[in-house]
Chains A and B, each alone.
Chain A
């Protein structure tokens, strides 16, 4: 067994491999730098950077759910935007028109989102109606229900408790005062310490067990870059209002779904179904249930998004959420999820969503209209998927 030797040594740092593996991250950096210069540096203003994540927060949340659907075989959920309208509308009507407590409203609204997901998941998973058609139906049905609930009016929400749960900026006593905000930086430093601690302990663990190791340059280089970006971002947040609750929601959802997809048995089944459904079935896995849960979960996240959107915008009308699903789907594919299913990561999806967000924001700052933004977004999506398909064809055989 001569092959055994290689596995114990460190992997050499390989520039070509690094470039292909991180192509979308590199694309993000290039686009960012490009817009930095095109906007005369305005892109990097604290307010813009803070808004970049808050404006795209709902996309990130939806994209996490959409990733699970896409993993099962390139299947998408078209109804997300309509569910947002329905759930957001319901929350607004319950709070504003009926004066109901947020502690009743929020669980009920989330439940409605889940029910919408269960409805679609049942048809897709157990009756095997094609997802495209099921969710196209859902897109119309939930949009219609949303408009019925809203009675075709715009309903706004001013309830402080509701806004506090989703959009307020966190003030930590002692760190944050009206003139000085320090909490982002403190939290940033804590996270950086955590990143380095986990890198070191994971390397030590691998060394002890004699597992294959990435080179020290790549491991620590990666941690350093992530930490630097994070600290810089926290520094910017300090200059503009601090940490929003919305940001906490978004980061928490991304972390949870990253954990599910990469570390749990349940998450792995999504990859298995997308990779080879028949083989997965014969391995004793209930593939119907996997489809069902992908779409039920999408309903849950769409419901949550409805509340986030309502809180951020402050009002809902009959066309709220229109084409939001396309942003989520686009983020997944730009972030490297395979159009055939079976591969894709939450980290990639985040990069994809940010890439779209930076393009949007950059073009908005430059004063370029919506129409051009669509053209550019579409082009980026197409290029990303062409890249995926062509690179698969090369490595496929």
Chain B
């Protein structure tokens, strides 16, 4: 009989409007490396947050058994006291504190007078740092060591908490190949000493390299668990599991309406990170979109798609942007969002709450914000005209709301998205950039948005759609560009595109 350290049984977790996890089951054996894989938004991180107590008991349904006993974690501290430690993709270290201070943050080593015992702190810290092969002084500031070593600090911190089950959320996403391999080797080393690990990753080669089992998560459900040595354990097999959902008529049909004229063309577009200016976010990207065409951008999170779109939209992201932008064949230089809007561009953000809507204000306020001049004469707002356009847009988008004076913060996700679309439709764009337009909204609202896209292209407008949902791109686009790590990795005609093909473009690049 296998020694099961962790058993998660029928876990269901709902957020307003979406079911993030639907009856998920997961079993992890003691002393194995268990990989959790799936597309963005499949529910992997949510599942781990349920396990660690980030989402406390009561906010989800289902049961968690750890070492055979039922666990009801209310906080992260509860799970950590049992030896379950999660290391997030974005490291939770404070740059201006030392390694030692970070390791014992919130868990300080105190002497009998209640003061922090610094000697003990640094001594203990270095002991754990040696365990993970980190030979630095514990008094080094976090900001002075590289990302790879910071990752090791996180693991050393986990050891200081007496970890039994280590969960790593995309631990290698910010590491180079060499550091990544070292980290994986380290995990395999720990395994010999009896540590159990759950690793969430997109990099299939890493899974093949180090994992004993791989559980595939798709649309908030666990699909299957592959066991090394028992099942076929290859990249192709895993991809099949990841994308294997059936395509049905979730997408309204559209007459092919692509015209010869190029509406927007981008040549050799390179964007640098706004803070770390030497880091290239988009590297030499060239693409074009015709009138009446829907093009898609596929890729994983962090592939540089949002950054590409925002940098085109009046340099709203990034520094040191080089490359040429042509609208209707004419070269233009859009310096800010205002100019972009004037040139007929609209960018509907992926993050409607942060970059899109003013949640404390009404639908009316939000609808007209980007083109307030259209309802103004001499700078004075014509309230009657404003109400009318807000009513019209609300109706056209099918936003469900008691009134246009409703605060957008009180709308559901789908209706917020429609209100946001209404805002940008009011700017009468020629080229509409949709960034994850259907994230976190229900099926009905998705369908309405697809219909709107079809309506736009029927009128000869162009759509650029960024989406992490491959079926959506295949269902809606005429052409699909695949991006990874800031570079264009391929271009597919949607007619020949399959999820396997797109995935293979992405995967091949990460090797």
Contact A279 B403 (CB under 8 A): no
Contact of A271 among B361, B379, B402 (CB under 8 A): B361
A45–B403 alpha-carbon span in the complex (Å)? 47
In this assembly, does B332 line the interface, its C-beta being within 8 Å of a C-beta of chain A?
Answer: no
Residues of B within 8 A of A276 (CB): 354, 357-360
- Tell whether A265 pairs with B373 under 8 Å between CB atoms, given A278-B354, A284-B341: yes
- Minimal beta-carbon separation of A388 from chain B (angstroms): 13
Kindly state the separation between the CA atoms of A284 and B423 in the bound complex, as whole angstroms: 12
A6 & B379 in contact (Cβ 8 Å cutoff)? no
**Closest beta carbon of chain B to A100's beta carbon, Å:** 36
- Residues on the B chain within 8 Å of A271, using CB: 358, 361, 365
A283-B379 in contact (CB<8A): no
- Asked whether B338 lies within 8 Å of A3 as measured between CB atoms, the reply is no
Q: How many A-B residue pairs have CB under 8 A?
A: 90
Known: A281-B337, A282-B316. A275 touches B403 (CB 8 A): no
| A336-360 contact mask (Cβ, 8 Å, vs B): 1 or 0 | 0000001100000000000000000
**Contact between B403 and A284 (Cβ–Cβ < 8 Å)?**
no
* Apart from A3-B403, A280-B369, A282-B355: 13 A-B pairs, beta carbons within 8 A: A209-B384, A265-B380, A268-B369, A268-B372, A275-B359, A275-B360, A278-B355, A279-B355, A282-B337, A282-B349, A283-B337, A284-B340, A286-B336
Which residues of chain B in 382-409 are interfacial with respect to chain A, using CB atoms and an 8 Å cutoff?
Answer: 383-384, 387, 400-403, 409
B contact residues around A98 at 8 Å (CB): none
Complex interface residues of chain A between 1 and 57 (CB less than 8 A to chain B): 3, 6-7
Report B330-349 residues with CB < 8 Å from chain A CB. 336-342, 347, 349
Q: Does any Cβ of A come within 8 Å of B4's Cβ?
A: no
- Give the residues in chain B near A275, CB-CB below 8 Å: 358-361
Q: Which residue of A lies closest to B357 (CB)?
A: A279
Known contacts A276-B357, A280-B358, A282-B347; A212 and B403 CB within 8 A of each other: yes
- Interface check A374, CB cutoff 8 A: no
Q: Let me know if A264 is at the binding interface, CB within 8 A.
A: yes
Assuming the contacts A265-B379, A279-B356, asked whether A6 and B403 have C-beta atoms less than 8 A apart, the reply is: yes
Considering the chains assembled together, what is the distance between the CA atoms of A327 and B506 in angstroms?
A: 61
| Shortest Cβ gap from A214 to chain B (Å) | 12
B381 interfacial contact with A, CB 8 Å? yes
Query: How many residues of chain B are within 8 Å of chain A by beta carbon?
Result: 39
Least CB distance from B69 to A in Å reads 34
Most buried by A among B342, B369, B409: B369
Contacts of A132 in B (CB 8 A): none
Cβ of A272 within 8 Å of any chain B Cβ, yes or no, is: yes
A126 interface hit (Cβ, 8 Å): no
Task: Kindly report which residue of chain B lies nearest to residue A397, judged by CB atoms.
Answer: B409
CA distance A29 to B117 in the complex (A): 59
Q: Given that A212-B403, A278-B355, A283-B337 are contacting pairs, would A268 and B360 also be in contact in the complex, using a CB cutoff of 8 Å? A: no
Note all chain B residues with C-beta closer than 8 A to A278: 354-355
Question: How far does the alpha carbon of A265 sit from the alpha carbon of B387 in the complex, in Å?
Answer: 14
B376 contacts chain A at the CB level, 8 A cutoff: yes
Q: Which residues of A contact B314 (CB under 8 A)?
A: 284
Q: Which residues of B are interface residues toward A (Cβ below 8 A)? A: 313-314, 316, 336-342, 347, 349, 354-361, 365, 369-373, 376, 379-381, 383-384, 387, 400-403, 409, 423
Contacts of B349 in A (CB 8 A): 279, 282
Which A residues are in CB contact (< 8 Å) with B403?
A: 3, 6-7, 212
Residues of B within 8 A of A372 (CB): none
Report if A284-B337 is in contact (Cβ < 8 Å); known contacts: A211-B387, A268-B372.
yes
CB within 8 A of B381: which of A268, A285, A343? A268
A7 to B381, CA, bound (A): 22
B388 closest partner in A (C-beta)? A209
Chain A's closest residue to B339 (CB) is A284
- Check A6–B338 contact: CB distance below 8 A: no
CA distance A27 to B360 in the complex (A): 25
Q: How far is the CA of A278 from the CA of B361 in the complex (A)?
A: 15
B361: chain A residues at CB < 8 Å are 271-272, 275, 342
A394 interface residue, CB < 8 Å from B? no
In the complex formed, the residue of B with least CB distance to A7 is B403
Residue A393 interfacial (CB < 8 Å)? no
A281 neighbours in B (Cβ, 8 Å): 316, 337
Q: Smallest distance from the beta carbon of A189 to chain B beta carbons, Å? A: 28
Q: How far is A276 from B349 in the complex, measured between Cα atoms in Å?
A: 14
Which 9 pairs across A and B sit closest by C-beta, in order of nearness?
A275-B358, A284-B338, A283-B370, A284-B337, A284-B341, A265-B372, A276-B358, A283-B369, A265-B376
A206 to B, closest residue via Cβ: B384
The DSSP consensus for interface residues of chain A is helix
Min CB distance, B263 to chain A, in Å?
20
At the interface, yes or no: A266 with Cβ under 8 Å from chain B? yes
- A268–B341 CB distance below 8 A: no
Q: In chain B, what residue has the closest Cβ to A211?
A: B387
The answer to whether A265 and B401 touch (CB under 8 A), given A211-B387, A279-B355, A281-B316, is: no
Partner of B402, one of A6, A211, A272, A286: A6
**17 A-B contacts (beta carbon < 8 Å):** A3-B403, A266-B379, A268-B381, A271-B358, A271-B365, A272-B365, A276-B354, A279-B349, A279-B356, A279-B358, A282-B316, A282-B356, A283-B369, A284-B339, A284-B340, A284-B370, A285-B337
Which of B339, B360, B372 counts the most chain A CB atoms within 10 A?
Answer: B360
CB distance from B126 to the nearest CB of A (A): 39
In the complex, A212→B390 CA distance in Å?
14
What's the nearest-Cβ distance from chain B to residue A298, in Å? 20
Nearest-CB distance from B121 to chain A (Å)? 34
Residues of chain A within 8 A (CB-CB) of B380 are 263-265
The answer to whether B379 touches A264 (Cβ under 8 A) is yes
**A304 CB to nearest B CB, Å:** 22
Name the residue on A nearest B407 (C-beta).
A395
B359 / chain A contacts, CB cutoff of 8 Å: 275-276
Query: How many whole Å from B231's CB to the nearest CB in chain A?
Result: 45
Chain A residues whose C-beta falls within 8 Å of the C-beta of B387 in the assembled complex: 211
CB distance from A194 to the nearest CB of B (A): 19
Question: Smallest distance from the beta carbon of B420 to chain A beta carbons, Å?
Answer: 9
Say how far B352's CB is from chain A's closest CB, in angstroms: 9
CB neighbours (8 Å) of A211 from chain B are 387
Inter-chain CA distance A6–B313, complex, in Å, is 40
Question: CA–CA, A187 to B280, complex, Å?
Answer: 68
Chain A, residues 260-303, CB within 8 Å of chain B (1/0): the string is: 00011110100110011011111111100000000000000000
Whether B337 and A272, one on each chain, are in contact in the complex, defined by CB atoms closer than 8 angstroms, is no
Contact A286 B355 (CB under 8 A): no
Give the docked Cα–Cα distance between A396 and B336 (Å). 32
Q: Chain A's nearest CB lies how many Å from the CB of B249? A: 26
CB nearest neighbor in A for B338: A284
- A53 CB to nearest chain B CB (Å): 28
Rounded to whole Å, the gap between the CB of A285 and the closest CB of chain B is 7
CB of A3 within 8 A of CB of B401, answer yes
Q: Please state if B360 and A343 are interface contacts (CB–CB under 8 Å).
A: yes
Residues of chain B within 8 A of A3, CB atoms compared: 400-403
Name the interface residues of A168-211: CB closer than 8 Å to any CB of B. Answer: 209, 211
The CA of A263 and the CA of B423, in the complex, are separated in Å by 20
Separation of A279 and B349 alpha carbons in the complex (Å): 9
Smallest CB–CB gap between B329 and chain A, Å?
24
Per the bound structure, the CA–CA distance linking A342 and B366 in Å amounts to 13
